């Protein structure tokens, strides 16, 4: 992880996550520096990433959510070869490891829904060795618990709805927060 990415996240801790064309249109003129792309397909992904990149933003692609691609490492090679994306998001440890090997910044998305998923964090990050973890849901207590198990920086995502949620997540130790809600992006 470069110092510049860390610095960008610290100075711009609210990361828009785009789930559709409306979100794309809304984010283009914002001051945000990093965007998580949560939609796209084999026909439009190059154009979407280029539009975001051309607006001066770093693009991280959630490869788990791309339509028309197999969830295999070849999609990472395709994105690397054909787009200016700088990072990959995935909930799959093997995809994060492969993305890291290709030179992408990596964010391992962890859905912590019960004690079993919480206890599997160490095993998952041992395989993936990501630059960041995205914890979903992004509740402050969960951020604190995960911070006790690793020194990998945490992005709080999922169910971040208002300024109080942002302040609480950052106060609990998250480096940044991620939201699909355009109202949160402006906070």
- In the block, which residue shows the tokens 């920086």? 153
Provide the domain count of the chain: 1
Q: Find the CATH number of the domain harbouring 125.
A: 3.20.20.70
Q: Would you say residue 1 has pLDDT above 50?
A: no
Q: How many CB atoms lie within 10 A of CB 180?
A: 17
Q: Would you say residue 187 has pLDDT above 80?
A: no
Closest CA to 119 of 149, 152, 158: 149
Instruction: Look up the domain containing 12 and give its range.
Output: 3-185
**CB within 8 A of 66, min separation 6: which ones?**
39, 40, 41, 42, 45, 75
For the stretch 49-96, pLDDT in tens is 999 999 999 999 999 999 999 878 999 999 999 999 999 999 999 999
Answer yes or no: are the C-beta atoms of 81 and 102 closer than 8 Å: no
Question: What is the Cβ-side half-sphere exposure of residue 66, based on CA atoms within 13 angstroms?
Answer: 28
For the stretch 113-146, pLDDT in tens is 999 999 999 999 999 999 999 999 999 999 999 9
């Amino acid at each position: 992880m470069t110092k510049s990415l860390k610095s960008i996240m610290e100075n711009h801790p609210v990361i828009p996550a785009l789930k559709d064309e409306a979100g794309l249109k809304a984010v283009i003129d914002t001051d945000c520096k990093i965007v998580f792309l949560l939609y796209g397909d084999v026909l439009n992904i190059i154009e979407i990433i280029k539009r975001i990149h051309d607006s001066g933003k770093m693009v991280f692609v959630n490869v788990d959510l791309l339509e028309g691609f197999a969830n295999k490492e070849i999609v990472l090679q395709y994105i690397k070869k054909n787009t200016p994306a700088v990072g990959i998001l995935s909930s799959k440890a093997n995809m994060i490891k492969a993305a890291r090997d290709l030179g992408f910044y990596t964010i391992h998305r962890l859905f912590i829904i019960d004690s079993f998923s919480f206890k599997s964090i160490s095993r998952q990050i041992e395989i993936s060795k990501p630059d960041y973890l995205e914890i979903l849901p992004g509740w402050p207590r969960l951020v604190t618990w995960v911070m006790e198990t690793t020194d990998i920086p945490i992005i709080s995502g999922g169910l971040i709805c208002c300024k109080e949620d942002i302040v609480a997540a950052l106060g609990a130790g998250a480096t940044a927060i991620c939201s699909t809600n355009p109202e949160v992006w402006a906070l």
